Amino acid sequence: MQSAPLSAASKARPRVVLVSTMYSPFQTELGRALNAQGLVDYHILYTMTESRGRGSHWTEDATRVPEWVHVAPALRGQAEFNAWVRGKLEVLQPHVILTSAMLSAPTWKAMTALKDTLRWHGFRTPIGYWLEHPDMSRPAPTRVAVETLTRLQLAGMDFIFAIGDRAEAYYRRCHPTLPIHIVPYGADLGPCFAIDRPAARDPGAPVTFLFSGQLVARNNIAALTDAFGRLAESHPGRFAFIVSASGPEERHLAALAARSPAFAAALRYDRVFQTWNDRLRPFRDADVLVCPSLHAGWALVVPEAMAAGMPVIATRAVSAARFFVRPEVSGLLVRPDAASIHRALVRFVEEPQVLTRMGAEARHAAHAGTAEFIADLYARAALREWARARGA
């Protein structure tokens, strides 16, 4: 099968293909920046368009994609999955391939089945992972099993793009000799930077906190709810809490609202969105992002909130917070217990004047999370792997 025709602008550029899973608008935003940058000819294969944990705003534009985005039809079974991926790769004939899933994922199985046959341009195409740190909030036997399987699966790949420093350390421990590059997620943060913040806020206005993500156990919702219960007792009427999330752990919030009128008065939900940028609606009304997770492989919401001018309360288990947040400068890092989270909430309620200073610093730091900034890291790492494969 012949290679897809290259445009005049892309003939001199190596072609890089990401074989991804769930359709993700932010991945497309990064891809747009990569192609605009001009160092590589970038394509994305999305193999799924439906997920129970994501709202319809994630996929509302999945049928209106640029020519370098390839969205799979409904695939039935691993053989059909492999055939679709192989067909696309034979047409595209990439110089470098990345895949964003491992362990039992169909994407990993497809790449494993194909990797020894993908030979174009005079060398076997290098294949690497683009991976977050695995969830370490799970039980110890599960963590051991995941690391054992990870070590086995890394042995068959050529390199890794690690999403943050925790991922880099973990995969380097699992495979000390494998080339690893730190390449986080990037996104178009322009709509976040465009959110207006007043030069000075009303010192008597309630401080509005935002949680955005999923109401699941790894996001530490029980401790977060406990912390807000304490805040409702210690500072009633002096805060608001926007929840832009759904999930099984909502029961904790519902139980607290039922027994605490002060918390119930502060709580509101904003979580039904039609378009991708609708998700930023609660950002306009919030002062501080709260992200005290037990595990977050990245948490794109952190640079989004910071670009919108919000300081962040997070734990060191949130990889994006480790990358962006400077304690007492652009946010606060806390332990995952309710008492520590509560102290951070109180800090902003009692000292709202720090919101303006920290918010400005947060916006400055978020520039390192833009699609343009990350595209440069991504492209240069891919070019190094292309050169390595050629023996250059």
pLDDT tens figures, 97-108: 999 877 767 887
pLDDT digits (tens, 9 = 90+) for 287-332: 999 999 999 999 999 999 999 999 999 999 999 999 999 999 999 9
Q: What local confidence, expressed as pLDDT, does residue 4 receive?
A: 42
Highest mean pLDDT (candidates 6-15, 31-40, 273-282): 31-40
Distance of CA 1 to the CA centre of its chain: 35
- What is the reported pLDDT for 11? 56
Domain of residue 129 covers 15-188+371-390
pLDDT value for 2: 36
195: which residues sit within 8 A by CB, 6+ positions away? 280, 283, 284, 308, 309
Same domain, 58 and 183: yes
In angstroms, the CA 17 to CA 202 distance is 49
**Do 250 and 339 reside in the same domain of the chain?**
yes
When pLDDT is averaged across residues 277-282 and rounded to a whole number, the result is 93
Residue 168 forms part of a structural domain: yes
Q: Kindly tell me if the per-residue pLDDT of 54 is higher than 80.
A: no
CATH number for the domain that contains residue 63: 3.40.50.2000
Judge contact between 235 and 261, C-beta under 8 A.
Answer: no
| Cβ atoms of 129 and 137 closer than 8 Å | no
The reply to whether 42 and 135 lie within a common domain is yes
Closest CA relative to residue 28, chosen from 72, 75, 64: 64
Digit-coded pLDDT (tens) for 265-274: 999 999 999 8
What pLDDT, on the 0 to 100 scale, is given for residue 51? 59
183 and 200 inside one domain = no
* 201 assigned to some structural domain: yes
Q: Under DSSP, is residue 302 helix (H, G, I), strand (E, B) or coil? A: helix
Same domain for 323 and 353, yes or no, is yes
Amino acid at 49: T
Whether 31 is in a domain gets the answer yes
Calculate the average pLDDT of the chain. Answer: 91
Say if residue 217 is in the same domain as residue 337. yes
**375 and 302 together in one domain:** no
Average pLDDT value for residue range 9-33 = 87
Note whether 133 and 165 are same-domain residues.
Answer: yes
Tell me: do 306 and 328 sit in the same domain.
yes
Note whether residue 140 is domain-resident. Answer: yes
How far, in Å, CA of 131 to CA of 126, rounded? 16
Q: Say if residue 195's pLDDT is above 70.
A: yes
- Which of 1-10, 14-23, 49-58, 364-373 holds the top average pLDDT? 364-373
In a domain, 7, yes or no: no
Convert the pLDDT of each residue in 57-96 to its tens digit. Answer: 766 666 678 899 999 888 888 899 889 999 999 999 999 9
174 and 83 within one domain: yes
Q: Is residue 325 part of a domain?
A: yes
Residues 6+ positions from 240 with CB-CB distance below 8 Å: 206, 207, 208, 209, 266, 267, 268
Are residues 180 and 254 located together in one domain of the fold? no
383 inside domain: yes
In a domain, 6, yes or no: no
Question: How many whole angstroms separate alpha carbon 354 and alpha carbon 201?
Answer: 10
Confidence of residue 201 (pLDDT cuts 50, 70, 90): confident
**Residues 308, 199 share a domain:** yes
Cα-to-chain-centroid distance, residue 181: 17
> Residue 161: beta bridge partners?
130, 181
- What per-residue confidence (pLDDT) applies to 63? 66
> Is the pLDDT reported for residue 49 higher than 70?
no
User: Domains in the chain: how many in total?
Assistant: 2
